[in-house]
Structure 1
Amino acid sequence: MKFVFDLDGTICFKGQPISDRLVQCLEKLIEAGHEVIFASARPIRDMLPVIDEKFHNFCLIGGNGSLVTIDGANVQVNSFSDDQVQAVIGLIQEYQATYLIDSDWDYAYTGPSNHPILNNVDPMKLANSVTLETLKRIVKILILSSTNMERMSEQLVSLDCVVHRHVNENVLDVSPQNIHKWSALQKVGLKGKEFIVFGNDANDISMFKEVLHSVRIGNHTELEKYCTESIPLEGDYETSIICKIGQLSNVYRPKAI
């Protein structure tokens, strides 16, 4: 069985790497014959620091599906069109927006120097922080602030962009149209009802709609109607997650050939 894991808020927390306990749990999952895929809103560059090095050559889906690597090589890079980029730049100017904008590797940032999101941006110093005008192949946009978030969100949607509003952080998470985690999973050969997903946020909905079994971590309202079951972030939730992974590993254990 293929197991797909979101990262932040699902198996890693507060910007920290996946814990040793969960790494060992994932190793047991693999030893049992299952396949593990990681699918995150982070670009690949920022997935690597929180995933144990032994998993770096696994299938990694980043940027909400814009980026896919296997064995460390790009399989897919989906970017905004030139027209979309120019329109987004116009909206940034109109609404005096601050942002984190990613290419497939480098990034442009204009938010405050103490913004919490910077804790997760290129901690291994693998990329370059550059101006927006010099970025090539823009794959993901985070609008951190603007004079009117609601109106800006509406206009981004009108540009055929996919926009997720992360209420807790009050940011707009913008991706190219028809690019999401499920489209990336299809790119690497997954079919509906043939995989298991652990996730926690609106950008996991595209996967939750297609799964055999889905586990919501936390209490995100939009995910509730699509999940098979939930694990609240209360008490020793990491143990609960580990137990659930082990339980599903046994239920869907691959048949011996």
Structure 2
Amino acid sequence: MQFVFDLDGTICFKGKPISERLLCALEGLIEAGHEVVFASARPIRDMLPVVDQRFHQLLFIGGNGSLISQAGKRLPGEAFTAEQISKILELITAYQGTYLIDSEWDYAYTGASDHPILNNVDPLKLAKKVPVESLNTIVKILILSSVNMERLFAELAALELVVHQYSRENVLDLSPQNIHKWSALQKAGLQAKQFIAFGNDANDISMFQAALYSVRIGDHAELGPYATASIAVEGDYEGAIIEKIEQLSKAYAL
């Protein structure tokens, strides 16, 4: 069985790498003959620091489906068109927005110097921070602030884009049309109802819909209707996640 894991808020918490106890649970899955896949909103560049190096050859889905890395090799990403970028930047300017914009590796950033998002951006200094005009392709956009975030969201949602609004962080997350975690998983060879998914937010809905069994970590309301089971982020929640992983490993033993 293939097990697909979101990262932040699902198996890594507070911006820290996946804990050793959870890494051991993932190793247990592999030893039992299962396949482990990581699928995150982070670009591949920012997934690597929170996933131990011994897992870096596994399948990574980054940028909410716009980036794929397999066996340590990055596949060509799904990018916005030049016309889309022009319109998005026009709206960002009109609403005085600040952003984190990712290419397949490098990035542009105009947010505050102390914004919490920077804790997760290129901590290993693998990429370059450059002006947005210098990015050859753009695969993911996070809008961090605006004078009118709700109005900006409405105008962006009217374009042919995938737009997620994260109310807790008050940011907008943009991906190219029809690009999401499930589209990338399909591109990588996964089949509907042939995998188990763990996630915590609205950007996990696409893969929850396609999963045989899905586990919501936390209480995100939009994700709830698509979850087979939920684990509250309270008490020893890592222990509860490990228990669920071990339970599903046995239930779907090869």
TM-score by length of 1: 0.98
Q: Counterparts of 1:169-188 in structure 2 under 5 Å?
A: 169-188=169-188
Distance in 2 (alpha carbons) for counterparts of 1:235 and 1:133: 46
Residue 74 (structure 2) pairs with residue 85 (structure 1): no
Q: Counterparts of 1:143-162 in structure 2 under 5 Å?
A: 143-162=143-162
Residue 73 (structure 2) pairs with residue 73 (structure 1): yes
Distance in 2 (alpha carbons) for counterparts of 1:184 and 1:176: 12
C-alpha root-mean-square deviation of aligned residues, in Å? 0.6
Distance in 2 (alpha carbons) for counterparts of 1:35 and 1:103: 28
The match for 1:60 is 60
Residue 40 (structure 2) pairs with residue 35 (structure 1): no
Whether the 8 Å contact between 1:199 and 1:215 is mirrored in structure 2 is yes
Q: 5+ unaligned residues in a row in structure 2: which ranges?
A: none
Whether the 8 Å contact between 1:140 and 1:173 is mirrored in structure 2 is yes
Distance in 2 (alpha carbons) for counterparts of 1:166 and 1:230: 20
The match for 2:46 is 46
Greater CA deviation, 150-159 or 208-217?
A: 150-159
Q: 5+ unaligned residues in a row in structure 1: which ranges?
A: none
The match for 2:193 is 193
Q: How many residues align?
A: 254
- 1:195 corresponds to which letter in structure 2? F
Distance in 2 (alpha carbons) for counterparts of 1:120 and 1:74: 20
Superposition deviation, residue 3 in structure 1: 0.1
Listed one character per residue, the Cα deviations across residues 39-74 of structure 1 (whole Å, up to 9, x for unaligned) are 000000000000010111110000000000101212
Q: Counterparts of 1:1-257 in structure 2 under 5 Å?
A: 1-254=1-254
Whether the 8 Å contact between 1:69 and 1:76 is mirrored in structure 2 is no
Superposition deviation, residue 159 in structure 1: 2.0
Whether the 8 Å contact between 1:107 and 1:127 is mirrored in structure 2 is yes
TM-score by length of 2: 0.99
**What secondary structure does 1:209 align onto?**
helix
- 2:220 corresponds to which letter in structure 1? H
Superposition deviation, residue 76 in structure 1: 3.8
Distance in 2 (alpha carbons) for counterparts of 1:215 and 1:93: 39
Listed one character per residue, the Cα deviations across residues 162-213 of structure 1 (whole Å, up to 9, x for unaligned) are 1000011000001000000000000011111100000000000000011100
Listed one character per residue, the Cα deviations across residues 12-57 of structure 1 (whole Å, up to 9, x for unaligned) are 0000000000011100110000000000000000000000101111
Greater CA deviation, 173-182 or 143-152?
A: 143-152
Distance in 2 (alpha carbons) for counterparts of 1:72 and 1:81: 27
- 1:237 corresponds to which letter in structure 2? Y
Greater CA deviation, 142-151 or 240-249?
A: 142-151
- 2:253 corresponds to which letter in structure 1? R
Superposition deviation, residue 158 in structure 1: 2.0
- 2:198 corresponds to which letter in structure 1? F
Distance in 1 (alpha carbons) for counterparts of 2:178 and 2:78: 10
